[in-house]
Structure 1
């Protein structure tokens, strides 16, 4: 059987992989195991416990030092991943390595595989997020990867414009939407009991990550968000920030907000299916997470997208873009809560796909020839337009 090593470095990508892993399990041609690193192995959230409780096979764990303090810690962690995988790939060589997105840990995983000529399959290439250094890592992974699974036609065309041969590129759609279509999501009551929430009134679901191209502004940005939120008499459910530099500052401010505001909560880790159920229950999404652009449209939920972190991504009609300023955020949330805006989303189509990404991805993994043509990448020059 063809062995697929799937790299997972945090709660977000693990949830996206869920239906892909299930479909590989059902394939007579493929088997998979997980390379687990990054935030999965930190004490906060401890999301590797979710992987273990799901019974997913783990091939290798790579613990990292703390990365939310400053930029140097992220660089050091990148090196730790590469060194650890030099040893692992010397012993165990998968047939295909699967990576996703734009995290610095994912970049390190892909870079470690290059000297071993391991075919790399990349999900969510071709996208833009100008406000984050992740933008650089995503495009670097594209140039290291041998197979590309793009969420939209526009993103696929961008991958080809980067010189990737068209036969390597598949428009799969966003795999997270497969969970929306297929997964059995917990009920409102189950969410309340599991996380100690009160959801009788629909809450704002808030996720705010560091904007890594603007490290000096993190304190000002989170203060602006919390200032705006404090003006609404609506429950607020925060999810924890990611492990980038500045995350500790955001976490501290959110903790202070929750300690003095009734009907506000900080949940370290919902898990993929619980988070989707929270999207279903939310009155609006607020912050700068990609989930507000990719998953939220499937639930017809408004998204107030703050600042530059998601700048450049395709948007559905649910997205209200605002700068990281208190008054602008306040007005954006007002719009999201208004009935006319909410009614306008009734017939909205999610531009990120139809919920059949996993079958398209696994079909390619089963059929692609693992030969010299796959490994020895050429550079595709698009025909000139005259």
Structure 2
């Protein structure tokens, strides 16, 4: 059996990885090993290792790496602490291949560790752009460490190839997070209300706001504008989901907690809902507001309008249901008002997303069990042919 170590650093990558984990687990040709770290082991993020166990997976290794600091120095130290733990964990697991998803610093740490031990790396979600976050450069760095690539669109596949990756090792499979939407049984509104701890009276707005790590000042303006804009909608039920552990995340969480206390009759902050709970909340919601990738990927697929604030998701393709806005109160309020006026009959859901058809996991697992691993541990830079540059020059002219 081919031993696949899947790495997860928190709910941001665990949700999209869930269908891949299930597909690996049930395939008789593959042996699943799970390395858990980061936000999964932090109370602020809901201590979601328990959720992993409830989903039917065994946590083979866990590495605590998050320090009680959201400064750049603190995040860098968390990265270093993680690398030390990942080295020991991978040595014990001794996998044939490491699978990572996304663009967070925890994923970069384990990719560095794997590369040093000549362990082949498969990377999901390469080639994407998020100009408003330092994740952009982290994502490209993981691409250069990985030898096998699973992208969400053909555009992203082309970008990975531009980074010098062999086209024969770059596969456009779609976004695996959409597999959850195609296959899962959504919770009822009543059960979702019990999960979040407040009656979900329509209209419902789900808010997820993360630090825009490449634009800290804009990130602060956006949060202040968002909270002020929400005050213009006194009859709306508002559910905040927890903030990623990044630079300046503690101050964002503190401001959100203060807002929720002031409006506690119809507002809640939940650290983690699990994938079924979160997607059910998105589906029930009249709008999704904030700067999270879930507003770009999952919300359009469940047929819910998105208000995307600021620069954090700049560079990612959008469905028609995504309304982009700036960071001031008036612009955010106008965008929320426009989203609440959209009829669900005008939102086709999964068929409207640019990120695939919901069958990514099957494609990924087929490749994981059939690809020749021997050449993957020794990467070579792939030079694009001269005809490519000639074509690009003609397009610019």
1:53-132 → structure 2 map (5 Å cutoff): 53-66=54-67, 69-132=70-133
> What is the deviation of 1:200?
3.1
- Counterpart check, 1:292 vs 2:320: no
Hey, what's the Cα distance between the residues in 1 that align with 2:129 and 2:328?
23
The match for 1:305 is 308
Hey, what's the Cα distance between the residues in 2 that align with 1:361 and 1:68?
36
Kept after mapping to 2: 8 A contact 1:219/1:249:
no
Hey, what's the Cα distance between the residues in 1 that align with 2:19 and 2:66?
30
Report the TM-score, using the length of structure 2 for normalisation. Answer: 0.93
1:231-380 → structure 2 map (5 Å cutoff): 231-232=232-233, 233-261=235-263, 262-339=265-342, 343-346=345-348, 349-371=352-374, 373-380=375-382
Hey, what's the Cα distance between the residues in 2 that align with 1:97 and 1:3?
9
Kept after mapping to 1: 8 A contact 2:305/2:342:
no
Kept after mapping to 2: 8 A contact 1:15/1:273:
no
Hey, what's the Cα distance between the residues in 2 that align with 1:314 and 1:58?
34
- Out of 359, 381, 384, the residue aligned to residue 383 of structure 2 is 381
Hey, what's the Cα distance between the residues in 2 that align with 1:353 and 1:277?
20
Kept after mapping to 1: 8 A contact 2:2/2:31:
yes
The one-character-per-residue Cα deviations of 1:22-47 (angstroms, maximum 9, x if unpaired) are 11122111011211110110122111
> What is the deviation of 1:54?
2.3
Hey, what's the Cα distance between the residues in 2 that align with 1:294 and 1:121?
21
Return 5+ residue gaps in structure 2 as ranges: 391-397
Hey, what's the Cα distance between the residues in 1 that align with 2:21 and 2:101?
13
Hey, what's the Cα distance between the residues in 1 that align with 2:221 and 2:69?
17
Hey, what's the Cα distance between the residues in 2 that align with 1:23 and 1:296?
23
> What is the deviation of 1:144?
0.4
- Counterpart check, 1:180 vs 2:181: yes
The more displaced of 289-298 and 344-353 is 344-353
Kept after mapping to 2: 8 A contact 1:288/1:305:
yes
The match for 1:41 is 41
Hey, what's the Cα distance between the residues in 2 that align with 1:91 and 1:192?
42
> What is the deviation of 1:380?
1.7
> What is the deviation of 1:214?
2.0
Kept after mapping to 1: 8 A contact 2:120/2:147:
yes
The one-character-per-residue Cα deviations of 1:158-194 (angstroms, maximum 9, x if unpaired) are 1011110011011110001000011122211111122
> What is the deviation of 1:82?
1.0
Hey, what's the Cα distance between the residues in 2 that align with 1:346 and 1:183?
18
Hey, what's the Cα distance between the residues in 2 that align with 1:291 and 1:217?
20
Return 5+ residue gaps in structure 1 as ranges: none
* RMSD, matched Cα: 1.5
